[in-house]
Amino acid sequence: MIDTSSRFTPFVGTDRSGSVAHALGFTGLGVAYSRLAARTMLDALDGVPVPGFLGDRPVPFPPEPVRYLGVQATRAALAREDRTGRRGPWLKALDRLGVGFNS
């Protein structure tokens, strides 16, 4: 299993009661983010608000077969951007949703 999120960056949060913290979506960035995530989780358990870049939950991945179609459309759009140097409407829409292909 690969721990990833739709924006390909980690996020931190707590359960509804605020008594259990979680950090998810590391996507291979675990070493770099683990200390920041741990300190942020401890702060969150103390009631400190989680900063926006770590606290905003990403858009969930859609179910199959929508996921497959979305991945194929995104791959084609990224290849087209590589060839032309211009972002098409599909990638612009994903950017507005915060999916994370504008890095």
pLDDT above 80 for 99? no
Tokens of 2: 């690969």
Q: How far apart are the first and last CA of the chain?
A: 24
d(CA 2, CA 22): 16
pLDDT tens per residue across span 42-53:
999 999 999 988
Q: Which two tokens stand for residue 6?
A: 């739709």
For 23-76, write each residue's pLDDT tens digit: 988 877 677 788 888 999 999 999 999 998 888 888 888 899 998 999 999 999
Q: What is the mean pLDDT of residues 10-35?
A: 86
* Alpha-carbon distances of 94 from 6, 43, 50, 70, 99, rounded to whole Å: 10, 31, 24, 10, 5
Residues 6+ apart with CB under 8 A from 27: 2, 3, 4, 5, 8, 9, 10
Look up residue 97 and give its two tokens. 């949703």
Q: Summarize the confidence of residues 18-23 as an average pLDDT.
A: 92
Measured in whole angstroms, the distance separating CA 78 from the mean position of its chain's CA atoms is 18
List the Cα angle 79/91/12 in 5-degree steps: 115
